[in-house]
């Protein structure tokens, strides 16, 4: 079995137009091809404010499929550690033979999650969007801003976080890295004054209120991936002119649909993003629409990014440097 380390993966795999396209193609495959994607298996570790998710998907026609183990331990910041971790395993589709172990420590999950946010912004936000709002100040909040900046010409950023010191570091780092002015604001001001808002928190009570929505706004919510999590008031989904998610059944079980007043009606209203990337459904069609996208994370994204990484490092002849 080939072992790929985080260091080696980081040398070659970055958030760019190519990895964004890999994830967009994965969404399209989910809509157009036969995909075997089991429900997420989650193990809660309440004693340490942690959780473990296992995701996988086989896409017909691909030589390999991945199984990803992802952890989130949300008190890690107290130890000076990132909250996310994990690894990916790649298996041969025809024989089931383990091919590669990607010891990425959650890096590839960060990349594919950010890329999904870019895909959502590309299809659902206004093309003239210039102000981005970020709820949260952790690692995914950083990746998401970079991702949005790759598909929209962002000139101003508003950020809200619970911890002032984390927000201050976020502002400093993102201004230095992207050359964009970043300002701290309340959650309400972030939403009311942004063209695109992305939520990246493990919140269990809604942060964004229905009354804050305004014409032309796009929201991507990606923090809710468990029954107890919720970032958006139920009314936000109902008020949206277009509500999109990665997988309807997953959003109903673990995402924002889970908290809707009328889940059956929201399931009818919801559009899966793969239907849009495949051209079967339309994304944003007017500048006035309010659009919302709920991303819970899918195994098809993990198989796509793992296979992309394997093929890229093979092409770069990284095996020799690893061994």
Alpha-carbon distance values, 200 to 44, 98, 133, 136 (Å) = 19, 33, 11, 5
Residue (of 92, 83, 91) closest to 113 by Cα position:
83
| Dist CA 23 CA 301 (whole Å) | 6
Residue 216 tokens read as 């032309």
Q: Tell me the sheet residues that pair with 272.
A: 245
Helix or strand run (H / E) with residue 258: none
| Rounded Cα gap, residues 196 and 60, in angstroms | 35
Which tokens belong to 236? 């936000």
- For 79-110, the DSSP string reads GT--SEEEEEEEEETTT--EEEEEE-TTHHHH
Tokens of 43: 């193990």
Report the first-to-last Cα separation within the chain, whole angstroms. 11
Cα 250 to Cα 209: distance, rounded to the nearest angstrom: 23
Count of alpha carbons within 13 Å of 310, Cβ hemisphere only? 24
Contact 150, 171 (CB under 8 A): no
How is residue 148 written in tokens?
């949005």
Catalytic residues: 68
CA torsion through residues 207, 195, 200, 39, sign: positive
């Amino acid at each position: 079995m080939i072992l790929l380390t985080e260091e080696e993966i980081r040398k070659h795999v970055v958030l760019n137009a190519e990895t964004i396209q890999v994830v967009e193609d994965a969404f399209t495959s989910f809509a157009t091809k036969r995909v075997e994607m089991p429900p997420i298996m989650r193990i809660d570790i309440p004693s340490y404010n942690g959780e473990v998710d296992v995701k996988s998907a086989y896409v017909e026609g691909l030589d390999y499929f991945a199984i990803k183990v992802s952890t989130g331990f949300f008190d890690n910041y107290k130890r000076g550690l990132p909250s996310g971790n994990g690894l990916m395993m790649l298996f041969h589709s025809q024989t089931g033979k383990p091919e590669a172990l990607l010891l990425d420590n959650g890096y590839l999950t960060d990349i594919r999650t950010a890329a999904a946010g870019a895909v959502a912004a590309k299809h659902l936000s206004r093309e003239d969007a210039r102000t981005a709002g970020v709820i949260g100040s952790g690692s995914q909040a950083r990746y998401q801003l970079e991702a949005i900046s790759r598909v929209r010409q962002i000139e101003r950023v508003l950020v809200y976080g619970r911890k002032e010191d984390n927000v201050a570091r976020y502002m400093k780092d993102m201004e230095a890295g992207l050359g964009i002015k970043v300002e701290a604001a309340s959650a309400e001001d972030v939403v009311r004054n942004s063209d695109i808002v992305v939520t990246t928190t493990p919140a269990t009570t809604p942060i964004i209120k229905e009354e804050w929505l305004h014409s032309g706004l796009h929201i991507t919510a990606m923090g809710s991936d468990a029954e107890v999590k919720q970032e958006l008031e139920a009314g936000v989904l109902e008020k949206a002119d277009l509500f999109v998610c990665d997988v309807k059944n997953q959003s109903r079980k673990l995402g924002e649909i889970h908290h809707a007043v009328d889940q059956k009606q929201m399931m009818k209203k919801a559009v899966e993003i793969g239907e849009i990337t495949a051209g079967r459904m339309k994304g944003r069609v007017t500048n006035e629409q309010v659009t919302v996208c709920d991303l819970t994370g899918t195994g098809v994204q993990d198989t796509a990014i793992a296979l992309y990484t394997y093929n890229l490092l093979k092409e770069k002849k990284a095996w020799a440097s690893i061994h």
